[in-house]
Amino acid sequence: MNKYYTITELTREFGVSTRTLRFYEDEGLIHPERRGRTRLFRSADRRLIMEILRGRRIGFTIAEIREIIHVYRDPPGEAGQLRLLMKRVEEKRDELNQKRKDIEETLEELNNVEEACLTRLAEIGVGT
């Protein structure tokens, strides 16, 4: 038997707004059935929402998520999707490692500026 979820059930389960789910629908990421004005989400839509939110948490853009989803739906299918996902994960990891390096360099520079200020204050006889 097909289990359907309402938009309210999914917003509560995932802690997102109805606007978020409508946005994902507008972006072509999910395709709920319509019965009048009511959206009915299948289990597949629910799984996609779970994966979309996971992708957002790890920093993927909507465009990147869309690309990964579409690779699964079209040839080369799941194998192509997994290769693309691994490539995107590597890119995201490299990006985050670069940001970490940049932050560490900035913190070191701030430490140097602070030390220079403390040294100069001591030289001019001002206590901290």
Q: What confidence score (pLDDT) does residue 1 get?
A: 58
Predicted pLDDT at 2: 72
Q: How many Å separate Cα 77 from the centre of its chain?
A: 22
Give the pLDDT confidence score for residue 119 in this predicted structure. Answer: 95
Q: What pLDDT sits at residue 81?
A: 86
Given this model, what pLDDT does residue 128 score? 64
Per-residue pLDDT of the chain (128 residues; tens, 9 = 90+): 578 999 999 999 999 999 999 999 999 999 999 999 999 999 999 999 999 999 999 999 999 999 988 887 777 788 888 999 999 999 999 999 999 999 999 999 999 999 999 999 999 998 76
Q: Using N-to-C axis directions, what is the helix angle for 43-57 and 7-14, rounded to 10°? A: 30
> Could you tell me the pTM of the whole model?
0.74
